[in-house]
Amino acid sequence: MRKLLVIALVGLAAQLVDGSLGMAYGLTSSTLLLLAGVAPAAASASVHLAEIGTTLAAGTAHWRFGNVDWRVVRRIALPGALGAFAGATFLSALSTESAAPWMAAILFTLGAYLLIRFSRPLRRNPAAGRLRGRFLGPLGLVAGFVDATGGGGWGPVATPALLVSGRMEPRKVIGSVDTSEFVVASAASLGFLIGLGTEGFLLPIVLALLAGGLIAAPVAAWLVRIVPAQLLGAAVGGVIVLTNARVLIRTVDLGGSLPVIVYLMLGAGWIAALTLAVRVLLRTRRERALAAALATDDLPPTSAPADVPVESVGAGVAAGTDPR
């Protein structure tokens, strides 16, 4: 009973992180199960079965808070489901541990890029246009395959790629990735059911993870709405860097105190990036407040045309139509 309670708390924490950062539920939960001696295929199968419930709750909560871009969900979910089904079928017969270092290297690079990007002012680029299906389709296929074979990976692959594009708000990236994961988790579970049978799912563990995740899902969706994009991006980058650095360090087999030194350097870099992100955020807010004050001074109520309400002028300035 105590073990199941601990697993439920892990599921709660994992969903809180996943719902607010767009990743880490499967990674955290699968790591715990592997440490407990569960076979990789059974661990991934159990986590994905639990994710059917947690992602449904998370997607509903993100939708309620306006964090979902349904066009992106439609374009990424179906390819993701195909990739997840293929990955689950593959993992049921073969381990993919040899692919871990390569995936870690790619994710580490994306995480480092995010740290750099979000430690500087965010620039909107309206000319960039919307994300195209020829990008979202292959991304979903790869992310779904990685997710099923690695026990987690939909968020770590899909979220950084969408954030790096610079064409979506971070909160909508996270909400859309979490919502589409319901389809991916369902397809992966079907693949594991075909490959392993019902004995591949550890139902007590599934229920414990599900209980914790359902409690955390609405809280996480609320957090992603109120936490500034600048901080979200820097936080996501740090999580990706530190998580995948562990895999790379084990792959190259660093000895002595070198791993500790590497972790300390990466941690210091993450703290520096977060500090810069906070400074940029505060400076941006001060500049917006000053611009709003100047706009109010330049557009007094008496200067508005007789047939235009004063409220309309203020709304235009707030919407970014200041002629300056």
pLDDT of res. 221? 67
CA distances from 80 to 62, 72, 167, 188, 223 (A): 19, 12, 20, 10, 26
- 211: in domain: yes
What is the C-alpha separation between 30 and 41, in angstroms, rounded?
Answer: 10
Per-residue pLDDT of the chain in tens (324 residues, 90 and over written 9): 677 787 777 777 777 766 666 666 777 777 677 666 677 777 778 888 888 888 888 788 888 888 889 999 999 999 999 999 998 888 777 654 655 576 667 668 777 877 887 777 755 554 455 777 788 899 999 989 888 877 777 877 888 788 777 777 777 888 898 899 899 999 999 998 888 788 778 788 888 888 887 777 677 767 666 767 677 778 777 877 887 787 788 778 777 788 888 889 999 999 998 898 888 888 888 887 888 888 776 655 554 444 444 333 333 333 344 433
Residues 6+ apart with CB under 8 A from 102: none
The whole domain housing 6 covers 2-281
- Phi and psi at residue 152, to the nearest 5°: 165, 150
For the chain, the domain total comes to 1
What is the C-alpha separation between 278 and 151, in angstroms, rounded?
Answer: 33
pLDDT of res. 229? 64
For residue 282, give the H/E element and its range.
Answer: helix 258-298
- 323: in domain: no
Residues 6+ apart with CB under 8 A from 76: 136, 137, 139, 140, 143, 158, 176, 177, 180
pLDDT of res. 225? 67
* Cα–Cα nearest to 265, from 292, 238, 302: 238
Q: What DSSP string runs through 227-262?
A: S-HHHHHHHHHHHHHHHHHHHHHHHHT--TTHHHHH
* Cα–Cα nearest to 185, from 206, 164, 160: 206
90 token code pair: 């593959």
- 43: in domain: yes
CA distances from 293 to 155, 288, 311, 321 (A): 41, 9, 15, 14
- 121: in domain: yes
- 88: in domain: yes
- 118: in domain: yes
First to last CA, the chain: 65
Q: What value, to the nearest 5°, has the Cα angle with vertex 265 and ends 264 and 269?
A: 115
Helices 40-64 and 2-21: crossing angle in degrees, nearest 10, is 50
pTM: 0.65
The total of other beta-carbon atoms located within 10 Å of residue 15's CB is 31
- 166: in domain: yes
- 295: in domain: no
